[in-house]
Chain A
Amino acid sequence: MRKTKFQKIDGTEEIKLPQMLDFYPLEDEENTRISLFFKNLGEGRLTTTRCKSCERLLWPPRIICPECLSDELDWVDLGSEGELYAFTEMRLGAPLGFVEDVPFCIGMVKIGGLLISARIDDAKYEDLNIGDKVRLKIVELKDGRVFYRFAPSE
């Protein structure tokens, strides 16, 4: 009887964080029709779309107004100072890509008529209070992509 053959093979190579585990969106014109949002962010401006037809302020930025189906949208500035509506701190259970940042603060920020979630940088949980003023901060990834966060106002 022939002996069963055993052979070592190369399995998966060391895996880099694949695109589908990357939390940050693809921001350029090739990949999204709201690339202007990210271009504005790169210039220090937090913006979103407002429907020209029904005037509704839309968040996240859209290409079509879900209320009236108009595709005529304006970009509007939301300002750079917000108010902390709620906050917490990630201490256990962070996802890949954020594990090294633990602990980090997360908040809900009232800004420009919206209530948005965001990382709250440069602060410990104990330093924060509901109602605190927070300032827009832009972070830039190594590959040039940008995203918004907030930090306590001076």
Chain B
Amino acid sequence: MRKVAIVAGGATRCGKREASWRELVQEAGKNLFESVDNISPKDIEALLVGAAQPERFTFQVHVAPMAAEYLGITPTKVLATTELMCASGQAAIRYAWACVASGMADMAVAFGVEKMFMKDMAEAQTNMTCVLDREWDGINGLSAPPFFAMTAQRHMLEYGTTKEQMALVSVKNHHYSTMNPIAQFQKEVAVEKVLSSPMVAPPLNLFDCSGITDGAAGVILVPAEEAKKYTDTPLYLLGSGQASIGNVVNNLASITEWVPLRLAVEETLRTAKITIDDIDIAELHDCFTISEIMEYEAFGWCAKGKGGAFIEEGESHIGGRVAVNPRGGLLGCGHPLGATAVLQAIDVMQQFRGEVPKGRLVKDADIAVTQNLSGAANVHSIIAYSRNPT
């Protein structure tokens, strides 16, 4: 298998955009191809489009060829949409990586896009309620906020995690997103503001939850040995892990411990040949504040149940044990489902290139991970990236 690197990335501004799905694709495509001198859309042999619910949000299926058309790409080797709900973009990167590594294609684009704002937001919520098994969980109103609310309730009961500790995750990530020009939310929030924001599903307030977001992003993957032809600072793909256990509530490994995440972490460390202490930047899936706390624990940066104390002690800030979500996270940047993992990858590349504002720059960072969960946190996907070739 060949080593693979990302050599370019481009994205849209994220948020409630006055733009259609098709226009988000075009904006991100222009930014992607204008960011690299000697690659044109016609050079791309493989296109993987991470899109979670285009058929629901924009009433359109068969979106991969449509995206290709708008991007000016005429794929000659591989073309498909990848759907894994909140991890759809990471699925696109993983498959594009596999295509280039195997030799199936020499140049691939992993793209991600979601248009989530609809005229009737109850319809958008309907879409989000068929993510869990619709006939057995969704039917009970179990969309993401109630599920993660109950996860938080159990974590608070079993480990003494507090609302204030959860709020600190939101405070941190919103702080970093004030320095991210494409983030959906660019205002600081204080603990009191998180705690006094409207209750979505107790114990989760509005600022415990990531937003509904429109956005798109793409990256270009080539064999690592070719990467320097296109940029002085490629982003090298180092390793990855993914695991899934069960789907309906009854068949999850545990509510308060994400076993599949632990498995995905182990596989990532094994394939990347690193330890958790090598990780300088972790772009984690903070769809809810409780998620990031449980992710500290599953990665092993703190003991099980001590995730609340970990944020309280500043260990997940830049300068702490590991810099978690210096991009601003999903809480600060928004969560355009299919685009999120691609946005994470681009920000890691900009970190390594030193192109992000000083206030959120992780100095001398060499290794980063990006992680996405999907569904009832039954699926976890991770990619490890390196500044240096291996």
Chain A residues packing against B (C-beta within 8 Å): 21, 23-25, 59-60, 85-99, 101, 104, 106-108, 114-119, 125, 130, 147, 149
Contact = CB atoms under 8 A, between A and B. Distances in A.
27 contacts: A21-B123, A23-B134, A24-B135, A59-B251, A60-B136, A60-B248, A87-B150, A87-B153, A88-B146, A88-B150, A88-B153, A88-B201, A88-B202, A89-B202, A92-B145, A92-B199, A92-B200, A93-B125, A93-B145, A94-B141, A95-B122, A96-B126, A104-B141, A106-B150, A108-B150, A116-B136, A117-B136
A114 B248 CA distance: 11
A93, A101, A116: residue with the most chain B Cβ atoms closer than 10 Å: A93
Given A108-B255, A130-B153, A117 B200 contact: no
Nearest to A86: B150
B228 to A, nearest CB: 47
Interface string B135-151: 11111111101100111
Contacts of A107: 150
A95 B125 contact: yes
Given A25-B139, A86-B255, A96-B120, 18 more contacts: A24-B139, A59-B250, A59-B251, A60-B248, A87-B153, A88-B202, A88-B203, A91-B198, A92-B201, A93-B128, A94-B125, A94-B141, A96-B125, A106-B141, A106-B142, A108-B255, A116-B250, A149-B140
B257 interface: no
B200 A23 contact: no
A96 B123 contact: yes
Contact of A90 (B126, B153, B201, B249): B201
Nearest to A61: B136
Contacts of A117: 136-137, 140, 142, 248-249
Interface of B: 120, 122-123, 125-126, 128-129, 133-143, 145-146, 149-151, 153-154, 157, 198-204, 206, 248-251, 255
Contacts of B157: 130
A59 B122 CA distance: 29
A23 B255 contact: no
A17 to B, nearest CB: 10
A106 B255 CA distance: 15
Contacts of A99: 122
Nearest to A120: B140
